[in-house]
Structure 1
Amino acid sequence: MNVAGDRRDVLRGVAVGLGVFLVFGAVTGLIPNPLYVRMIASTPADYLFLMATSAFAAAFVYQRSLSAEPLGDGVAVGGVVSGVLAFGCPICNALLLALFSSSALMTYFDPLRPLLGVASIGLFVGLLYYQRANCRRC
């Protein structure tokens, strides 16, 4: 592949990573904005998981563009979803709030958020390792 194609792939990966960071950061209130106010205080782990999810999404998109047979889209979606659940405000999530009460979310779900973040990172690390091992151009 030519250099222009490689640059496009890198730019696409960077754009996805930046998009994930900005969209999910704003939607979860980690990036202050006038449309959304987070109901619980953010922690350094929330920012860590936001940055990790964004970086891994960018790396996945770049690495996927190099593969002759791209795979792992479902695992990548699972990584992003578990990442968002890890750094998102548990009582601000309308779906979770519809399924459970806010007290149940804070009692049972909030302590599990770091584990979801670790699971997200684990999914992406495993996926990127698997893609790298099965990619002839990488």
Structure 2
Amino acid sequence: MVLPRRMLEGAGVAVGLFVLFGVVTGLIPNPVYVRMVPRTPLDYLYLTTTSVFAGAFVAQRPVTVGSGDDRFAAGGVVGGFLAFGCPICNVVLLTLFGSSALMTYLEPYRPLLGAVTTVFLAGLLYYRHRRTCETCD
């Protein structure tokens, strides 16, 4: 059973990531950041699922720290960020690959990356739930 405090922490993480990633990627319009690639409904879907799954992961966190699942969750959040983020506006990717390479090779596959990331995070939550809740059956 998830404790109410951990549920609040998970909800805080979900809302915080939604707002932070939404502002940073331009999905939440703001005067500081202008998104170069048009927004799509899939971008909002992947922003929401990534935030909710990250919050659920935090809420499921075991009391004992030391599980290796944190690295997988971080990878899922990064994959989600790449799925709904603007590829041209990501300075790290732009520096490494250039705008033409990003628009040619990353942009067409962002929806697929988002779907894979969503399934990956959902599978991680399911796996963690089954591992930590053996008495639930």
User: Would the TM-score normalized by the shorter structure come out above 0.5?
Assistant: yes
Q: Does the 8 Å CA contact 1:13/1:60 hold for their aligned counterparts?
A: yes
* Number of residue pairs the alignment of both structures matches: 135
Task: Work out the CA distance in 1 between the residues paired with 2:56 and 2:127.
Answer: 13
Which segments of structure 1 move beyond 2 Å, counting only runs of 4 or more? 65-71
Query: Where does residue 93 of structure 1 map in the other structure?
Result: 90
Q: Does the 8 Å CA contact 1:64/1:71 hold for their aligned counterparts?
A: no
Q: Does the 8 Å CA contact 1:64/1:70 hold for their aligned counterparts?
A: no
Query: Where does residue 45 of structure 1 map in the other structure?
Result: 42
Change (3 A) 1:68 1:88: closer
* Pair 1:18 & 2:15 matched: yes
- Percent of aligned pairs sharing the same letter: 56
Query: Where does residue 29 of structure 1 map in the other structure?
Result: 26
Query: Where does residue 62 of structure 1 map in the other structure?
Result: 59
Task: Work out the CA distance in 1 between the residues paired with 2:65 and 2:96.
Answer: 41
* Pair 1:119 & 2:116 matched: yes
Unaligned runs of 5+ in 1: none
1:101 deviates by 1.8
Unaligned runs of 5+ in 2: none
1:64 deviates by 1.2
Change (3 A) 1:67 1:135: farther
Task: Work out the CA distance in 2 between the residues paired with 1:29 and 1:68.
Answer: 34
1:35 deviates by 1.0
- Report the aligned-residue RMSD: 2.0
TM-score normalised to the size of structure 1? 0.90
Query: Where does residue 74 of structure 1 map in the other structure?
Result: 71
